[in-house]
Chains A and B, each alone.
Chain A
Amino acid sequence: MYLLFILLFPLLIGSALLIFKPKNAFAISLATSIIELAATAYVLQQASLSPVSFSAPWVAEAGLSFSLYVDGISGVLIGLCALLVPFIVATTANTDRANNSQFQGLVLAMQTALMGAFLAKDAFLFYFFFEASLLPIYFLAAIYGGENKNAITFKFFVYTLFGSLFFLIALVYVYLLTPGEFHSADIDVLYQTAKGLSADQQGYLFAAFFLAFAIKMPVFPFHTWQPDTYTVAPAQGTMLLSGIMLKMGTYGVIRLVLPMFPLGVATWGLTASILSVIGVIYGSIIAIQQKDAKRLLAYSSFAHVGLMSAGILSGSIEGIQGALYQMVSHGINIIGLFFVIEIIERRTKSREIAQLGGITQFSYPLTVTFVILSLGSVALPLTNGFIGEFLLLKSVFDQNLVLGIIAGITIILGAVYTLRLIQKSMFGNVSRITADFADLTFAEKAVLIPLSALVIVGGIFPSTVLGFSEPAVQQLIQWFK
């Protein structure tokens, strides 16, 4: 029942916000997300003892059930989702979006969709939430977005929907092979059924599944929607997209693709890894040349997720554990960084890196937190990014030396664009638009300081997360090895 609560609670309050349009939407939304975080923490505490599950009949005549469960893998993701949403809500403080009930309602609705995708034990339920999450984020981006938002968000919507349709088809294919009069889409049953498929079939199915997830993450060459959408979406929308939503893609690969189609992965995994690594390098190189800070972060996110994808596809324990850890770290770092850019934009009305400079003279806390978050993103030792990237790179090395070496360049390239961003914006001469840069407000500090603290804590105590997920990951690997 707790699972049902953490799934539906945000939606309930979110719909209430959308319908009744109360004046104090910010307080309600923040309270909701904090209660959600507390409830999720309780569920995770239970799940660390033994997996928690909930099941109810749904579309019985089609063998679909409304079943949710939390094990080590989904636990990490729901934890991430519940952890980040309060911060995302808090970033709206003192802006015109704070008490915009429509905006807050959509954010909370989005949280339910994301939670649902991570909690689902029935593959169709996963698909259901996977798709449903597009609606709130589409409206968030298209209503509150920047220039040329209609065309860009529309491309985003159609592109991702198109990919997931292939996923749906492949899923239906496997589902119809499941035993029983009504079939079943329970993930465990699907695992069993997929075992009986030939290598050829698994190859096609892998392609169809991976396409959907590759578009969501995105992996090269399916990334063309991503930089535009991240740039045009409102800061909170971008945080949801990059901090949580792209993890649905990586989670899908871990949860569905690896255990269902090991033969498909054996055939096509290397190709997919190569594409992912191309994305890592390509994203990093383009990030170096960006003039717009938000766009730079979009490409950096593209590069990071490419490494996660390559690590997961290696199918090793380091790869999956590393990816899980990196999903959490990346979520924390990227929303922090997007918030820093948002703060700069609020004060200077610009995101052009060339126009900024010397901000450190006006706001010391901003510089410190920005630097810490960036170092996390660059994967410096003692930051959370290091643990994940190290494990991921190791898994890629083990799989293919050349690929590993190429992927390793990402650390250098990542340092180049991130440090360039810090240097040009924080240090150097004060520019015309940064001339009277106001220091951080309390609300802004309340977001950035805890996030920076998490960067360090994550770097020093990785075992909280890694230990939590390890049994489930071990079990998963046992299954398909």
Chain B
Amino acid sequence: MTAIIALSLLGILNLFLGFWLSRKTIQAATLLFLGGSMALTALDWNHEMLWYGHMFHTTNTSISFSLIIQLAAFMVVSFSKGFGIDEEHTHPAEYYAILLFSVVGAILMVSFDHLIMFFVGLEILSVAMYVLTGSDKRNLRSNEAALKYFLMGSFATGILLFGITLVYGATRSFYLANIALAIANTPPESTPIFLSIGVLLILVGFLFKISAAPFHFWTPDVYEGAPTIFTMFMSTVVKAASFAALFQVLSGPFGTMYGTWVYPIYYVSMLTLLIGNITAAYQQSAKRMLAYSSISHAGYMLLTVSANQASTQSTILYYSLSYTLATIVAFGVVMLVAEYQTGRTEKPENFSSFEGLAKQNPGLAFCFTIALLSLAGIPLTAGFWGKFFVFSDIFNRHVYYPVILAIVMSAVGVYYYFKAIIAIYFKEGDIERIELPGLVKFAMWACTLGTLLLGVYPSIVKNLF
């Protein structure tokens, strides 16, 4: 709780710092702020508390998700070198400030007890993301991405809000606990039909945000068009926060309506897995491949949500963390290589520009490989356990077909992740040594070692609660 106040204030402070400090110092300051807020968040561990008229609820679950979000933001800031854009046109202070504000939104999204609080959090996060997506002002693709994201995003928000309204109409409350009570106290035959419609509309709003098929069409363009550093942020923070919120909404107040929302989720997740994976296999651009892969990971996580088991929450937590660590490294390496290749090739993000990376940059290649292996779900990496927990949760529900599809799709996943691995190790290329700033090196190795550690000993996260 104190963390969101601190982050908001520090964000404003950050804006002012831009007048005096150099880019490097602001980056260091932002890292310091995030580190401090993480410490503040962690202090609440085991102190369950309600704030703001019971609208904001800190539990161990919400704290763990908040920590993942802030960790992701921390890594993203470490990777950013004043956001890659040329000297003159950068506004580091503003970007870092917006980033901090969006983190506040994301934390609200994982700690709400009231649908309006959730909505406020979602909007803070989304508006910040629209701005960041279009931050590369002179790049046409970035502008296009921002506009697309904004239009689709606000449309989704509208649907979500409409759903919340209907639910309010049916239950006369925004509080999760009261909604649950109202639903439980209404006999099934007298439940108004618009309650179910409301739930489904909320679900659709979420599916937009997590880019599940058939609501995913904005994702590849936005992910590709946005500066890679923000793609990294979008695909980790927004995903983790949205999934945590989705599960909280569905399992809490609407847990008794399991039958209403579970089938749409099955179909959507199967479609998402199919479209995400198969389209990813055809991509020439590594960045676009990662965009589709992020769609497919949404499919796996949706499957977990549909399981709605006691262990589901920790599975989502584990999956989010493993996915976040791997995605940050993957996008980070794509960004570094693309920056190196700018001007050398027409499409610096294509697989072909990665050829021969391993020769002069063994460390970079190793981290990238571990990240991809983790995304592919190969043992020794965190991704394997993520998939394992997902499958075992959903199996507990005695649901088989989506799992079998998910498994076949994991094999497809191996195919496209390995395209990148083959390019960096086994193709000839002339990439020279890429010099990495210390912070980038630190972030990359921290994520990689985290992935390996979670891969060998998943208990450290899985039995947090």
Which A residues are within 8 Å of any B CB, using their own CB? 57-62, 124, 127-129, 131-132, 134-135, 139, 142-143, 149-150, 154, 157-158, 161-162, 165-166, 168-169, 172-173, 175-176
Taken together as a complex, chains A and B put the C-alpha atoms of A166 and B391 apart, in Å, by: 12
For B380, the closest partner residue in chain A by CB is A132
Q: Are A154 and B418 in contact (CB under 8 A)?
A: yes
Residues of B within 8 A of A166 (CB): 407
Of B52-60, B435-443, B454-462, the one contacting chain A is: B454-462
Taken together as a complex, chains A and B put the C-alpha atoms of A162 and B410 apart, in Å, by: 8
Residues of B within 8 A of A172 (CB): 388, 391-392, 395
Q: Are A157 and B418 in contact (CB under 8 A)?
A: yes
Q: Is B2 an interface residue (CB 8 A)?
A: no
Residues of B within 8 A of A143 (CB): 425-426
With A132-B379, A158-B414 in contact, do A169 and B407 touch (Cβ < 8 Å)? Answer: yes
Q: Are A61 and B418 in contact (CB under 8 A)?
A: no
Q: Are B395 and A173 in contact (CB under 8 A)?
A: yes
Residues of B within 8 A of A176 (CB): 392, 395-396
Taken together as a complex, chains A and B put the C-alpha atoms of A96 and B427 apart, in Å, by: 21
Residues of A within 8 A of B311 (CB): 61
What's the tally of chain B residues with a CB closer than 8 Å to chain A? Answer: 32
Q: Is B434 an interface residue (CB 8 A)?
A: no
Interface string of B377-394 (1 = CB under 8 A from A): 011100011001101100
With A132-B380, A161-B411, A168-B407 in contact, do A62 and B418 touch (Cβ < 8 Å)? Answer: no
Q: Are A135 and B426 in contact (CB under 8 A)?
A: no
Taken together as a complex, chains A and B put the C-alpha atoms of A124 and B385 apart, in Å, by: 11
With A169-B407, A176-B392 in contact, do A60 and B418 touch (Cβ < 8 Å)? Answer: no
With A60-B459, A165-B407, A168-B391 in contact, do A158 and B426 touch (Cβ < 8 Å)? Answer: no
Task: Give A161 Cβ to nearest chain B Cβ, in Å.
Answer: 6
Task: Give B34 Cβ to nearest chain A Cβ, in Å.
Answer: 30
20 A-B pairs with CB atoms under 8 Å apart are: A59-B459, A60-B463, A61-B462, A62-B389, A62-B392, A129-B379, A131-B379, A132-B378, A135-B373, A135-B380, A143-B426, A149-B426, A150-B426, A157-B418, A158-B411, A161-B378, A169-B391, A172-B391, A176-B395, A176-B396
Not counting A128-B379, A169-B404, a sample of 18 additional A-B residue pairs whose C-beta atoms are within 8 angstroms of each other reads A57-B459, A61-B311, A61-B459, A61-B462, A131-B384, A132-B378, A132-B380, A134-B378, A142-B422, A142-B426, A150-B422, A154-B418, A154-B422, A157-B414, A158-B415, A162-B408, A172-B395, A173-B395
Task: Give A66 Cβ to nearest chain B Cβ, in Å.
Answer: 9
Q: Is B403 an interface residue (CB 8 A)?
A: yes
Residues of B within 8 A of A129 (CB): 379
Taken together as a complex, chains A and B put the C-alpha atoms of A142 and B457 apart, in Å, by: 29
Closest 8 CB pairs of A and B: A162-B411, A131-B379, A61-B463, A165-B407, A132-B379, A128-B379, A150-B426, A132-B380
Q: Are B462 and A59 in contact (CB under 8 A)?
A: yes
Residues of A within 8 A of B426 (CB): 142-143, 149-150
Task: Give A147 Cβ to nearest chain B Cβ, in Å.
Answer: 13
Taken together as a complex, chains A and B put the C-alpha atoms of A414 and B462 apart, in Å, by: 53
For A124, the closest partner residue in chain B by CB is B388
For B385, the closest partner residue in chain A by CB is A59
Of the candidates A60, A61, A135, the one whose C-beta lies within 8 Å of that of B378 is A135
Task: Give A152 Cβ to nearest chain B Cβ, in Å.
Answer: 11
Of the candidates B378, B415, B458, B462, the one whose C-beta lies within 8 Å of that of A131 is B378
Q: Are B458 and A59 in contact (CB under 8 A)?
A: yes
Q: Among A57, A149, A158, find the residue whose CB has the most chain B CB atoms closer than 10 A.
A: A158
Taken together as a complex, chains A and B put the C-alpha atoms of A176 and B462 apart, in Å, by: 18
Task: Give A138 Cβ to nearest chain B Cβ, in Å.
Answer: 9
Q: Are B403 and A169 in contact (CB under 8 A)?
A: yes
Interface string of B391-423 (1 = CB under 8 A from A): 110011000000110011011001100100010
Q: Are B392 and A175 in contact (CB under 8 A)?
A: yes
Q: Are A165 and B395 in contact (CB under 8 A)?
A: no
Task: Give B453 Cβ to nearest chain A Cβ, in Å.
Answer: 13
Taken together as a complex, chains A and B put the C-alpha atoms of A132 and B427 apart, in Å, by: 24
Task: Give A137 Cβ to nearest chain B Cβ, in Å.
Answer: 13
Taken together as a complex, chains A and B put the C-alpha atoms of A45 and B414 apart, in Å, by: 42
Residues of B within 8 A of A149 (CB): 426
Task: Give B351 Cβ to nearest chain A Cβ, in Å.
Answer: 13
For B396, the closest partner residue in chain A by CB is A176
Of the candidates A62, A132, A142, A165, the one whose C-beta lies within 8 Å of that of B462 is A62
Q: Are A158 and B418 in contact (CB under 8 A)?
A: yes
Residues of B within 8 A of A132 (CB): 378-380
Residues of B within 8 A of A135 (CB): 373, 378, 380
Residues of A within 8 A of B422 (CB): 142, 150, 154
Residues of A within 8 A of B388 (CB): 124, 168, 172
Task: Give A361 Cβ to nearest chain B Cβ, in Å.
Answer: 41
Taken together as a complex, chains A and B put the C-alpha atoms of A194 and B176 apart, in Å, by: 42
Task: Give A416 Cβ to nearest chain B Cβ, in Å.
Answer: 38
Q: Are B392 and A58 in contact (CB under 8 A)?
A: no
Task: Give A299 Cβ to nearest chain B Cβ, in Å.
Answer: 26
Task: Give B14 Cβ to nearest chain A Cβ, in Å.
Answer: 39
Task: Give A449 Cβ to nearest chain B Cβ, in Å.
Answer: 37
Task: Give B378 Cβ to nearest chain A Cβ, in Å.
Answer: 7
Residues of A within 8 A of B427 (CB): 150
Q: Are B459 and A58 in contact (CB under 8 A)?
A: yes
Residues of A within 8 A of B410 (CB): 165
Residues of A within 8 A of B380 (CB): 128, 132, 135
Task: Give A395 Cβ to nearest chain B Cβ, in Å.
Answer: 34
Q: Among B373, B422, B462, find the residue whose CB has the most chain A CB atoms closer than 10 A.
A: B422
Residues of B within 8 A of A162 (CB): 408, 411, 414
Residues of A within 8 A of B411 (CB): 158, 161-162, 165
Q: Among A60, A62, A134, find the residue whose CB has the most chain B CB atoms closer than 10 A.
A: A62
Q: Are A142 and B425 in contact (CB under 8 A)?
A: yes
For B422, the closest partner residue in chain A by CB is A150
Taken together as a complex, chains A and B put the C-alpha atoms of A166 and B426 apart, in Å, by: 29
For A163, the closest partner residue in chain B by CB is B411
Task: Give B174 Cβ to nearest chain A Cβ, in Å.
Answer: 34
Residues of A within 8 A of B392 (CB): 62, 172, 175-176
Taken together as a complex, chains A and B put the C-alpha atoms of A113 and B384 apart, in Å, by: 16
Q: Are B457 and A58 in contact (CB under 8 A)?
A: yes
Taken together as a complex, chains A and B put the C-alpha atoms of A116 and B379 apart, in Å, by: 13
Taken together as a complex, chains A and B put the C-alpha atoms of A131 and B426 apart, in Å, by: 22
Residues of B within 8 A of A142 (CB): 422, 425-426
Residues of A within 8 A of B425 (CB): 139, 142-143
Interface string of B82-107 (1 = CB under 8 A from A): 00000000000000000000000000
Taken together as a complex, chains A and B put the C-alpha atoms of A176 and B398 apart, in Å, by: 10
Task: Give B235 Cβ to nearest chain A Cβ, in Å.
Answer: 25
Taken together as a complex, chains A and B put the C-alpha atoms of A134 and B422 apart, in Å, by: 15
For B403, the closest partner residue in chain A by CB is A169
Taken together as a complex, chains A and B put the C-alpha atoms of A327 and B427 apart, in Å, by: 37
Task: Give B457 Cβ to nearest chain A Cβ, in Å.
Answer: 7
Residues of B within 8 A of A127 (CB): 379
Task: Give B347 Cβ to nearest chain A Cβ, in Å.
Answer: 21
Residues of A within 8 A of B391 (CB): 168-169, 172
For B366, the closest partner residue in chain A by CB is A18
B residues 219-244 with Cβ under 8 Å of A?
none
Residues of B within 8 A of A173 (CB): 395
For A128, the closest partner residue in chain B by CB is B379
Taken together as a complex, chains A and B put the C-alpha atoms of A132 and B378 apart, in Å, by: 7
Taken together as a complex, chains A and B put the C-alpha atoms of A274 and B311 apart, in Å, by: 43
Taken together as a complex, chains A and B put the C-alpha atoms of A174 and B404 apart, in Å, by: 15
For A142, the closest partner residue in chain B by CB is B426
Task: Give B449 Cβ to nearest chain A Cβ, in Å.
Answer: 13
